[in-house]
Structure 1
Amino acid sequence: MKTGSQTTVEPIGKYQFMTAIILFEIGSTPMFLLGRDAGQNAWMSMAVGAAAGFVVLLMCLSLQRLSGEQDWTEMLLRRLGKWAGGSLAMLYAILFAYESMRNVRDFGGMANGTILPQTPIWIVMLIISAIACYGVAKGINVLFRTIELFFPFVALSYFTIILFFIISDLPDSHRLRPMLDQGVGQVLGHALPELISFPFGQVFVFLLFWRYAKDPKQVVKVSMTAYGIVSLFLTAMSVLTLSILGPNVAKLVSYPFLEAVQLIHIADFLERLDIFVTLIIFLGLFVKLVVFYLASNAVLCRVAGLSWRAGAIILGPLIFAASFLEPNQTFHIWLGLKVQVKYAWIYQALVPLLLLALTMLAIRKTGHVRPKEEV
């Protein structure tokens, strides 16, 4: 395996990291009622998934702290060797590209089903893929600054929607009852491992970026704060959606949150906010798309010895082409929310856990982490 160095990256500030983690973790998650099979207890499954994901976050932060300025690719190369580590790293590059592809397909499917029903889906996906490719080619700093600019708009928009829900008197706590009617097992069964895999365990991807923090001492605090905000927000959105639609209706519709927003009517003139919400979701999808794209490119460039721009240009068409492998949107959603989530925890949590164990053993044996020059 040929190894190469990445392009120079300016230090990333703590606010940029916080906004990136928040928007990345939120993504399109509010649009779906995750754990909906748990009925009115779906919000509890979300809370359990968040708690389990927090353990994954702590594990990843511990691995980063022990590994110093290494990123995930360098950790694999140093602990597993040039060939085994490099091969596994390339597998991660493919997995990250696959995750990016899923968001391209989500973008196209959602646009085609909401605001652009007459536009061929491939045109939407081509445009968003080209924008993402251009952004990734510009580098990590450009995209992290762009995400920072998105954050105030997204935060204000969600706050406004929640306020409109309350003003419209849509939430009804009776729809959340009875609680735990089938016991704790039902909640746990629909939370683990699915809600670790999506969305909470996906925070693992920041092992590719934490090394660039302007103040490494702030990484733990910033990441945990951002994760806490995301956990509370997503759990609250689950509570709102369930309390507005009820568990029976929420199970039947493709996008429960969008269905809830369509019920907002204020003073006989403020309505049809679903288009506005769709635009917010698009921003979340774009953030998740480019972060996975960035991660895939970072691994590819490091292992294959490519320049940053060359890697981005190679990956872009591949991600776009792969988005057509799934025959339709129904299959795409089934594959992501029913199949992939059962196994994604393996590369998000299990492999990092094994690497953490190897790192701790190496530190105990040598008394320090091996310097970067050894590889």
Structure 2
Amino acid sequence: MNTEKISGLQLFYIMCGYILGTAIILGLGQEVKQDAWLFIGFGLSGGLILMAVYTKLAIYYPGDTLVQMLPKIIGKFLSYPIIFLYILHFTYSASRACRELGALIITTILNETPIIIVIGSFILLLIYCLRGGVESFGRLVEIVFPIYIFSLLLIWILLLTVDHFNVKNLTPILGEGVKPVLIKAFPNAINFPFGESIVIMMFFPFLTNKQHIRKVGMSSLILGGLLLIVNSIMMVSVVGAEIYSLDAFTLLTATQMVSVADFLERFDALVILMMVLGVFFKAGAFFFGAAVATSQLFRLKQNRSVFLGLGTIIAPLSLVSASSYVEHLEFGFEYYVPYFLGFLQIVIPIMLLCLAFIRKIISR
């Protein structure tokens, strides 16, 4: 399974698009209003520390995925329940990304289409792509990522033409002090989306040049974080802090305000294109991580059939996990992100690194 390889540039594209994913459409830090860009900055700082932990573990155990290094660090029997939790995390997170895509599509361009049709079609696309292996996924991302970035830059340029664009909407900066922003940023801003980069540990063994592990991980996180910061500044400047804190699809709302010479309007298609591509990066990486983890846990020789099995789970799971989109968001940000992800993306990796470090000292 590790005979397939991807280049450092392809993994950089995958992870950068993965970090942007759904976060760039939904808007981060809505609870801190005009200080959202600082909220993201604090999250990025914590995410870089976590990425240092992830890459150090990969350096300690070169050629191993997260699932393969767990038994070597904490033992076979203790590792099984934790591996199962990571498979659950990757699978459920992929279903959440698909649910967010489906919600956007049916509220904009396909109002009368059942959401299961939208999500099911997207899952079939992911299965078709990922069954070709990590190399085909990497090559496709290499083509798609420049289109994604071009669309984002074009939207930003268009937002500058909006009459309501005003950088003063970002003031007062830290009006209530830095403490409230820090409290709300930890652990939510770290866990989503930066801590989710733990899925990169499922890609490291497929990297052609493993000397670039840290460079690829850190650079993708930094670029993704900076783009999210700029994006939040642009959105708050256009719609204002109050609307930013309440709107479900903030970038879509801001883009709908664009009108060039009262002639060029309705650039919603660009936002929808970005959401489709962003979920392709995010759900694709989670899907791949879950399939590889499942194959390695049960010692399967290939994971092509695993994609089919996971696909039949992800599609219905995206719908049954919440009765409405509002409930979906509330459960995610109030319970799933701070507690479940906090345990798997912060507590467990740091504990693993400490144990791996002690093992290295003892072995010497």
TM-score range, shorter chain: over 0.9
Aligned partner of 1:24 among 7, 12, 18: 18
Contact kept, 8 Å, 1:96 with 1:293, in 2: the verdict is yes
Measured in 1, the distance between the counterparts of 2:360 and 2:308 equals 39
Match of 1:333? 329
Measured in 1, the distance between the counterparts of 2:180 and 2:245 equals 16
Does residue 1:290 correspond to 2:287, yes or no?
no
Report the 3-state secondary structure (helix = DSSP H, G, I; strand = E; otherwise coil) of the residue aligned with 1:264: coil
Contact kept, 8 Å, 1:12 with 1:214, in 2: the verdict is yes
Q: CA deviation at 1:170?
A: 4.5
Contact kept, 8 Å, 2:30 with 2:246, in 1: the verdict is no
Q: CA deviation at 1:134?
A: 2.2
Does residue 1:350 correspond to 2:347, yes or no?
yes
Measured in 1, the distance between the counterparts of 2:3 and 2:317 equals 29
Match of 1:311? 306
Match of 1:135? 129
Match of 1:91? 85
Matched length: 361
The change in CA–CA distance for 1:151 and 1:15 in structure 2 (over 3 A counts) is same
Which moved further from structure 2: 50-59 or 132-141? 132-141
Match of 1:69? 63
Does residue 1:191 correspond to 2:213, yes or no?
no
1:63-94 deviation per Cα after TM superposition (whole angstroms, max 9, x unaligned): 11111211101111111222221332122111
Measured in 2, the distance between the counterparts of 1:328 and 1:249 equals 21
Measured in 1, the distance between the counterparts of 2:264 and 2:204 equals 43
Match of 2:160? 166
Measured in 1, the distance between the counterparts of 2:52 and 2:94 equals 24
Give the alignment of 1:37-186 within 5 angstroms: 37-168=31-162, 170-186=164-180
1:291-326 deviation per Cα after TM superposition (whole angstroms, max 9, x unaligned): 101000101000112331121121110111212212
Which moved further from structure 2: 155-164 or 79-88? 79-88
Measured in 2, the distance between the counterparts of 1:338 and 1:279 equals 29
Measured in 2, the distance between the counterparts of 1:163 and 1:150 equals 20
Does residue 1:364 correspond to 2:358, yes or no?
no
1:221-272 deviation per Cα after TM superposition (whole angstroms, max 9, x unaligned): 1221221111111011111111111111212322111111111111222111
Q: CA deviation at 1:215?
A: 0.9
Q: Give the residue type in structure 2 aligned to 1:353.
A: I
1:116-161 deviation per Cα after TM superposition (whole angstroms, max 9, x unaligned): 1111111111111122222222221111211111111011111111
Contact kept, 8 Å, 1:195 with 1:341, in 2: the verdict is no
Match of 1:36? 30
Structure 1: any 5+ residue segments left out of the alignment? 1-6, 368-375
Measured in 1, the distance between the counterparts of 2:229 and 2:107 equals 26
Measured in 2, the distance between the counterparts of 1:13 and 1:225 equals 14
Q: CA RMSD in A?
A: 1.4
Measured in 1, the distance between the counterparts of 2:142 and 2:331 equals 31
Structure 2: any 5+ residue segments left out of the alignment? none
Report the 3-state secondary structure (helix = DSSP H, G, I; strand = E; otherwise coil) of the residue aligned with 1:324: helix
Measured in 2, the distance between the counterparts of 1:136 and 1:87 equals 26
Match of 2:205? 211
Match of 1:323? 318
Contact kept, 8 Å, 1:27 with 1:281, in 2: the verdict is yes
1:21-48 deviation per Cα after TM superposition (whole angstroms, max 9, x unaligned): 1100000111122111112112111111
The change in CA–CA distance for 1:16 and 1:166 in structure 2 (over 3 A counts) is same
Q: Give the residue type in structure 1 aligned to 2:231.
A: M
Q: CA deviation at 1:339?
A: 2.3
Measured in 2, the distance between the counterparts of 1:167 and 1:324 equals 38
Q: TM-score, normalised by structure 1?
A: 0.93
Give the alignment of 1:212-231 within 5 angstroms: 212-231=206-225
Measured in 2, the distance between the counterparts of 1:182 and 1:234 equals 23
